[in-house]
Amino acid sequence: MTPPMVGSWQVRIVAARPYAIHGDHYFEFAIAQLNAPANAPPEAVLRAPVHAFAVPPEENQAVEITFLMGQVTAVKPLVD
């Protein structure tokens, strides 16, 4: 999966961990399609600044990721 230049994805977070670049705080997180089996390998790994997350990422969390110029600008949980 290649991130879009502009738009959004609805995906499932497979794994996430804190990540720092030159003192700036990020989360590095692996994603899969919403309908992918739980044991399926991640389809992409992304990094986003901590402030882009509405809540801290959790495994198996369904989220909508918003992109601008190929960069993650927001990660919001999907409500059932």
Residues with Cβ within 8 Å of residue 2, at least 6 apart in sequence = 44
Per residue in 11-51, pLDDT (tens digit) is 999 999 999 999 999 999 999 999 998 888 999 999 999 99
> Taking a C-beta distance cutoff of 8 angstroms, is the pair 14, 42 a contact?
yes
Whole-angstrom Cα distance, residue 53 to residue 40?
24
| pLDDT (0 to 100) of residue 39 | 84
Whole-angstrom Cα distance, residue 47 to residue 70?
11
Per residue in 48-64, pLDDT (tens digit) is 999 999 999 999 999 99
Radius of gyration over alpha carbons of the chain, in Å?
12
pLDDT band of residue 79 (cuts 50, 70, 90) is: confident
